[in-house]
Amino acid sequence: QAAMIQKLGTQGSALAPEAMARALENHLRQVKAALALRPEMSICWMEYPRLIHEPAAAAVNLQSFLGIPLDLAAMSAQVDPTLYRQRHPSDGQPDLGKPL
C-alpha cells in the first residue's frame, strides 16, 4: 500500500507500517471472533497468495464450500498473477487467510 500511495502522490496513514500491520491483525482477530459467534454463517477462508499462485485449487475449494457445480477452468483463468505485486514473504503483512 505504501508503494501505491507514493505512486499516487497521496497522503498515507500516520501509523508506521508495523503498527498498521498490528492494527489490521487485531481487527481481523475481532472480526473472526465475532463470526465465531454466528453459527448460521459459513466462512470459506482462503489465503490470498495461494489463490494467486494456485487458482485451480482455490476454485475447487470454493466449489466444495458452495456445494454447487462451477466452471473451474473459467474461474481459474480470471486470476492474473501479474497484478499481485509488491509482495514479499517478509513484508510484515498479516496473513488474512489463516484463522487466528
Spell out the per-residue pLDDT of the chain, length 100, in tens. 667 677 777 776 667 888 888 988 999 999 999 999 999 999 999 988 899 999 999 999 999 999 999 999 999 999 998 887 655 555 444 454 544 3
Euclidean distance between CA atoms 73 and 16, whole angstroms: 41
Is pTM, for the whole model, over 0.85?
A: no
pLDDT at 54: 94
The answer for residues whose C-beta is within 8 angstroms of residue 57's C-beta and 6 or more apart is: 50
pLDDT at 78: 95
- Write the burial class of residue 59 (CB in 10 Å: 0-12 exposed, 13-18 middle, 19+ buried): buried
The CA-based dihedral angle spanning residues 80, 28, 33, 49, taken in that order and rounded to the nearest 10 degrees = 30
